[in-house]
Amino acid sequence: MLLDLHVRDFVLINEATISWHQGLTVLTGETGAGKSIIIDALTALLGGKVSAADVVRSGAESALLEATFLPIPAARQLLEEQGIAQDETILVSREISAQGRSRCRVNGRLATVGLLQKLGGIYVDVHSQHESQWLLSASRRLDMLDAFGGAEIEELRRQTAQAAERRSAARRELAELRQSERERNRTLDILNYQLNEIVAADLKVGEDEQLEAERSVLINAEQLKQLLSATYQAVYENESAAAIDLVGAAVSSLSEAARLDHRCQVLLSALREVESLLADTAREIRLRRDEMHADPESLAEIDARLELIEQLKRKYGPSVADVLAFAEQAQLQIDALKDTVQRTQHLTAAVAKSEREYLKYAAALHQARVRIGRELEKLIENELRSLGMEQAAFIVNLTERTDEAGVQRGDRYLAVTPRGYDSCEFLFSANPGEEPRALHRVASGGELSRVMLALKAVLADVYSVPTLIFDEVDAGVGGRTAQAVAQKLSHLAHGRQVLCVTHLAQIAAMADHHILITKSIENDTTHIILTSITKADRVHEIARMLDGTQNRTTLEHARQMLAHAQKGPR
């Protein structure tokens, strides 16, 4: 709800602060007094398009508009998404410089005009003869119809929206997979080649070090054989000084010494072990020497194997372990890429399933809307009759939206949206014999105002915008119709805030709050003044509205109207 509005240097307003209340508030005044400027100020504050040359008061550097709103859940959620601090109230401001620049703030934080527009959509609906957000927006018309349908429509919309989202998500992922299919196949070919190359090599960790050792032996086979022969001779075959003979002589001497001194027995045992070890070692040296010979074929095989290993290491890693790790990772990637084929099949099936579900729920939603639309038509026509349009026809026209990227049904492709495939238009005919056509195209200003009033009266219980503004909704009406319009406005104001710029005394008399707008000229400069009036002042203003005079008769009539309004049904 709008709590207060502060305006400075806006058009003809020097400075004014207005407090607003729940219920019906009327703004009245002489023709040309500037009643609609207040509505223009609020519209500009909430992100409306403005021209600095038209709105900044002559001689001022800028115009300042500020409003305080009572927080409601939708507004709190919006501010939370924007990271704006919450408070007990929401303060919105917009400063428009004479050069055309705007500076917007919400709760003291700089904001965009777009954010002000979103807040405006949450808090305020402005209707005039020239503009109506509801009638000009097909999506709003559909939302209005669905709101009238209640829980049944809400559930069908939820199911339809979920099916549409599932289709959208599956199609999006499927498109990404198909878009990268060529790249995926190329990557798969490369990985398969790399993996096959490594697997065919049948590598073992440490194999290259082992082969290098074997290669070293084969290359140095002759030199190794000579060295082993010399070693064997020194240990076993040297007739004059073989190590085995010298140790044997030492064993004989120490054996004699042990016979004389038993303490040498330990030394003798150790020396005999050395003798045995020398004999074993000599045998191993001889065997190794005898098997040592040049083997060009084995050397060539080892060289080829080492070259293969080096090639793989140059490609896939500095060691055999790294090459094998690369192969393991390649296999994982191949498995993942092959899985995308199955994923593509899965997603294709998911798209088809979600499309079947979408058609099912959207068709059920369409049928429910047709039924609810018929009910709404009757109620609106009843309201129009009470507003002096006895022969008017109102039709809720639902058509199927098509889209080449939509879901196929027969030879048509129906649009896929969270709201289903319906497009909603309100058709209107004021008189018998006239073909119903789009309401906002064929209705006159007065007719359009009354249709909007009828719509909002019927939808009063489901309409969520807390502040409704009517700018001269009374155009073209009078007499009993004027009283009916007044009662409808009063009914709408139950539990919400309704602001109405009016010329009708009947509407002014029904108001809970009354603001009088007058024009003043000081020092050749025109200003408008806003005054909240009550009691006697209201009587005089309503008398003026009746016939332009304030004589005894009109004053008494005004008193009676006010008294009747206070007692009568609302």
Tens-place pLDDT, residues 270-293? 988 988 898 888 888 888 877 777
Q: What pLDDT score does 387 carry?
A: 83
> Is the pLDDT score of 132 beyond 60?
no
Q: What's the length of the chain?
A: 570
For residues 198 and 92, membership in a common domain is answered with no
Query: Where does a domain end: 265, 287, 316?
Result: 316
- Indicate the number of domains in the chain: 2
Residue 405 resides in a domain = no
Residue with tokens 């050397």: 299
Identify whether 4 is part of a domain: yes
* β-pair type (393-400, 402-409): unpaired
CATH of the domain at 543: 3.40.50.300
* 305 within domain boundaries: yes
Cα–Cα distance list, 525 to 56, 67, 73, 511 (Å) = 14, 26, 44, 32
Any domain includes 387:
no
Strand pairing of 13-19 and 467-471?
Answer: unpaired
Confidence of residue 569 (pLDDT cuts 50, 70, 90): low
Mean pLDDT, range 363-386, rounded to an integer: 94
| Whether 540 and 462 share a structural domain | yes
Between CA 534 and CA 515 the distance in angstroms is: 9
The DSSP line for 399-410 is: EE-EEEEEEEET
**Measuring CA to CA, which residue among 523, 500, 532 is closest to residue 14?**
523
The answer to whether position 518 is within a domain reads yes
Confidence of residue 369 (pLDDT cuts 50, 70, 90): very high
Question: Domain of 19?
Answer: 1-125+446-570
**What's the average model confidence in pLDDT over 6-13?**
90
User: Could you tell me the pTM of the whole model?
Assistant: 0.63
The pLDDT assigned to 175 comes to 84
List C-alpha distances in Å: 179 to 165, 183, 407, 553: 21, 9, 21, 83
| Residue-level pLDDT at 446 | 67
Which of 495, 540, 492 has the alpha carbon at shortest distance from 514? 540
Q: Are residues 29 and 119 in the same domain?
A: yes
Q: Is the pLDDT of residue 266 over 60?
A: yes
The pLDDT of 515-521, averaged and rounded, is 87
pLDDT score for 363: 96
> Residue 5 forms beta bridges with which residues?
18, 67
92: nearest Cα among 79, 83, 101: 79
**Binning pLDDT at 50, 70 and 90, where does residue 476 land?**
low
Q: Which of 281, 316, 351 is the last residue of a domain?
A: 316
Are 312 and 190 within one domain?
A: yes
Residues 212 and 107 grouped into a single domain: no
Same domain, 8 and 120: yes
Which of 199-203, 212-216, 473-477, 546-550 has the largest mean confidence? 199-203
* 206-223 average pLDDT score: 78
Say whether both 115 and 194 belong to one domain.
no
How is residue 38 written in tokens?
């207040």
The CA-based angle 543-544-546, given to 5 degrees, is 65
Containing 40, the helix (H) or strand (E) segment is helix 35-45
Domain ends where: 282, 316, 350? 316
d(CA 166, CA 189): 33
Is the domain of 191 the same as that of 312?
A: yes
Residue 38 CB coordination number (10 Å): 25
Q: Is the pLDDT of residue 90 over 90?
A: yes
Whether 431 is in a domain gets the answer: no
Together in a domain, 311 and 196: yes
The answer to whether the beta carbons of residues 8 and 15 sit under 8 Å apart is: yes
* Domain match, 93 and 200 both: no
Mean pLDDT of 304-328: 89
Assess if residue 520 is contained within a domain: yes
**Is it the case that residue 473 has pLDDT exceeding 90?**
no
Work out the angle at residue 361's Cα, subtended by the Cα atoms of residues 358 and 366, and round it to the nearest 5 degrees.
115
For residue 128, the model assigns a pLDDT of: 66
- In whole angstroms, give the CA distance from residue 375 to residue 12: 46
Q: Report the 10 Å Cβ neighbour count for 341.
A: 14
SS3 464: coil
Q: What is the pLDDT of residue 239?
A: 67
Whether 130 maps to a domain, the answer reads: no
**Structure confidence at residue 179 (pLDDT):** 64
List, for residues 220-262, the tens digit of each pLDDT value.
777 877 887 788 777 777 767 778 777 787 888 888 888 877 8
Ranking 415-429, 501-515, 519-533, 535-549 by mean pLDDT, the lowest is 519-533
**Per-residue tokens: 278:** 């020398």
Average confidence score pLDDT of the chain: 86
pLDDT at 443: 64
What pLDDT is attached to residue 274? 86
Residue 386 has pLDDT above 70, yes or no: yes
